[in-house]
């Protein structure tokens, strides 16, 4: 892999990841861009302790542009985009409309009032373009290209974790207009949080309680239990296991774990990295076949999903295990799962599909 770092016209960082070590990336961003200022702040909810990011400057971000004006496609035929090069393998750049940004520290004043605690939204948000092909998806990548994306995630995890004030790095992909994606080009994002995310905080608390109660790690016990009774196991590899969780919140939800507990992407071995693309691509392709086979009517639209890497935060993360959570909001052909009042209002999920039935369906669509 070759990594090339350059700058966009407004000073944001752009990084190319190429499979070919001889790839030359000397293209210059010629757009007349003015620097932007992110005035993000984070506020602590005194009732829950959760941090909420306030980023009002994001209202002006690009929203569903036509394909010939996509800002994530390569710059070609006189049309300049966020990627100056005429082609690329994987490209990562700082978001022009970030929820979190390092310069927020210079513009936002903090407060220690217990009822109105706030701090600058200092962090970093990056966009990860998986391929130059606008019409493709992650599932269309070759194993070699998927491995390159994994290397990019790993590189960014290492670098962003080292930034001052960053407590957790979150790599994820939102796919599909139903999810709320505003750019159709295949891409994901990375957030470098100045706090530990609420879901991670809950998982760490559960893991610490499990350790105090049993003397064992929660995530190792969880994976062992799924393998001992594999009714919810979808794919079992030498180094990775994909399964529907016992208490799945979403109609089709799969968790993908390395069989050896590690804290984050940087700790994976060469063998684990080598097997990941095959397992993950198969999982994504099964998601796209969920509503098109075995008695289901034809469904032209690809399955919308969120794929989220859970990594240990910089502090208090010893018990957390790296894993990816993949889920879709589609519950059957032509029907989406909208969050109802008990879910949006109380965070009390109700699942219309049993986890065992979801796992069986995901096994049925294997090829």
289's CB contacts (< 8 A; 6+ apart) are 365, 367
- Strand (E) or helix (H) holding 132: none
Give Dmax (Cα) for the chain: 63
CA torsion, ordered 263, 267, 272, 277, to nearest 10 deg: 80
**Rounded to the nearest 5°, which phi and psi values hold at 273?**
-65, -35
> Is 107 within any annotated ligand binding site?
no
Residue whose C-alpha is closest to residue 231's, from 63, 124, 357, 74:
357
Q: Which of 228, 281, 286, 224 is closest to 257 using CA atoms? A: 224
Q: Which residues contact 189 (CB under 8 A, 6 or more apart)?
A: 95, 125, 126, 127, 128, 171, 172, 173, 174
> Is residue 70 a known part of a binding site?
yes
Which contiguous run of DSSP H or E holds residue 204?
Answer: helix 198-214
Tell me which H or E stretch contains 260: none
Kindly state the tokens that stand for 215.
């003397």
Which residue out of 64, 187, 239, 296 is catalytically annotated? 187
Q: Is 107 a catalytic residue?
A: no
Please state, in angstroms and rounded to a whole number, the distance separating the CA atoms of residues 311 and 204. 11
CA 242 to chain centre: 17
Q: For residue 312, what is the enclosing H or E element?
A: none
Give the count of beta carbons closer than 10 Å to the beta carbon of residue 197: 18
**Catalytic residues, which ones?**
187
Give the residue ranges of the annotated binding site for Zn(2+): 70, 73, 134, 185
Give the residue ranges of the annotated binding site: 70, 73, 134, 185
């Amino acid at each position: 892999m070759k990594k090339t770092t350059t700058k966009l016209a407004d000073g944001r960082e752009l990084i190319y990841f190429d499979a070919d070590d001889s790839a030359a990336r000397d293209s210059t961003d010629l757009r007349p861009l003015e620097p932007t200022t992110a005035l993000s702040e984070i506020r602590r909810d005194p009732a829950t302790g959760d941090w909420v990011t306030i980023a009002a400057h994001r209202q002006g971000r690009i929203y569903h542009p036509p394909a010939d004006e996509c800002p994530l496609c390569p710059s070609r035929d006189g049309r300049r985009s966020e990627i100056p090069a005429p082609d690329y393998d994987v490209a990562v750049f700082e978001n022009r409309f970030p929820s979190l940004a390092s310069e927020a520290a210079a513009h936002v004043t903090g407060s220690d009032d217990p009822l109105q605690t706030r701090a600058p939204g200092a962090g970093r948000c990056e966009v990860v373009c998986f391929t130059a092909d606008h019409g493709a998806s992650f599932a269309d990548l070759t194993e070699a290209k998927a491995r390159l994306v994994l290397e990019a995630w790993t590189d960014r995890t290492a670098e962003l974790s080292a930034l001052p004030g960053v407590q957790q790095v979150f790599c994820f992909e939102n796919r599909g207009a139903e999810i709320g994606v505003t750019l159709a080009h295949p891409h994901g994002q990375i957030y470098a949080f100045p706090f530990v995310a609420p879901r991670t905080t809950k998982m760490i608390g559960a893991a610490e309680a499990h350790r105090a109660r049993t003397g064992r790690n929660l995530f190792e016990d969880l994976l062992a239990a799924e393998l001992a009774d594999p009714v919810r196991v979808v794919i079992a590899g030498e180094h990775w296991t994909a399964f529907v969780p016992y208490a799945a919140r979403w109609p089709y939800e799969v968790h993908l774990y390395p069989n050896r507990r590690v804290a984050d992407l940087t700790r994976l071995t060469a063998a684990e990295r080598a097997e990941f693309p095959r397992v993950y691509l198969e999982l994504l392709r099964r998601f796209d076949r969920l509503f098109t086979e075995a008695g289901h009517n034809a469904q032209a639209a690809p399955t919308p999903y969120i794929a989220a890497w859970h990594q240990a935060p910089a502090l208090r993360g010893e018990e957390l295990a790296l894993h990816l959570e993949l889920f879709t909001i589609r519950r059957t052909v032509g029907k989406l799962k909208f969050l109802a009042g008990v879910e949006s209002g109380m965070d009390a999920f109700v699942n219309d599909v049993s986890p065992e039935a979801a796992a069986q369906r995901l096994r049925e669509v294997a090829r």
